[in-house]
Amino acid sequence: MLAPLKNLLGNVTMYVALQKALGSDRLRYRCLAELDLRDGDTVIDVGCGPAYYFDRLPKVTYFGFDTSERYIAHATARYGSERATFSTEIFGERHLGVLPPADAVLLLGLLHHLSDEDSRALLRVASQALAPGGRVIAVDTCYAPGQGRISKWMSDNDRGEHVREPAAFEALARESFADVSGEVVDDAIRVPSSFWMMRMATPLHVPTA
């Protein structure tokens, strides 16, 4: 992505405004709808950014993680409460058993920023963080077979350095989940773009004691 645009997206207000202008918020809401969350559920959101979609959640207990101090400060000021905690810690094994088991883990726009190795580790810990029946949803810019020129340009110029084809995202998920399904979404936002929305359930690995 062009450096000036990258810098602008580090600005919280610009990031949220651009997401809404492009219609990327609708893609997030679609992911949330997939989860069918209920009051009282526990949600872990890794790479939550400013969590501008927080108000769309029912009355869940929410834990948001992001490496950006700016995003976390913004989210905390706006949504922090008894049931919403935001942290700049890297979500990992040390959080298992400390946080309550999650009914859902959100990875909205994260995996295409992570290397295969980091994605693998995160997906494994996400699988271990789930309550029985829990599920994970991810959505990422992807390279889709047959995508048009503008869509391809969008994928080439995404901020994420690990934009993949659906099969590559799916292969990573299958290392940690027995149930993986997904679809290319290319009608969600106002600019031609391709996203891979991926649902994951049924963890393959139990947490180590």
Interface residue list for ligand SAM (CB under 6 A): 19, 28, 46-49, 65-68, 71, 90, 108-110, 113
* Residue reference for tokens 């889709």: 144
Least gap, CB of 201 to ligand SAM (angstroms): 20
Cβ 168 to ligand SAM, closest distance in Å?
18
**Residue 130, strand partner residues:** 102
Residues 6+ apart with CB under 8 A from 149: none
Q: How far is CA 95 from the centre of its chain?
A: 18
Toward ligand SAM, which CB reaches closer, 71 or 196? 71
* Cβ at position 64, least distance to ligand SAM in Å: 9
Largest CA-CA distance found in the chain, in angstroms, rounded: 49
Phi-psi group of 163: left, alpha or beta (phi > 0 → left; psi -120 to 50 → alpha; rest → beta) = beta
| Nearest residue (CB) to ligand SAM, 67 versus 81 | 67
Q: Which is nearer to ligand SAM, 28 or 130 (CB)?
A: 28
Q: Pick the closer one to ligand SAM by CB: 49 or 166.
A: 49
Smallest separation, CB 10 to ligand SAM (Å): 9
**Whose structure tokens read 């290397």?**
115
Angle (CA) 94-172-132 rounded to 5° is: 55
For ligand SAM, the closer of residues 160 and 202 by Cβ is: 160
The two beta strands, 42-46 and 130-141, are unpaired
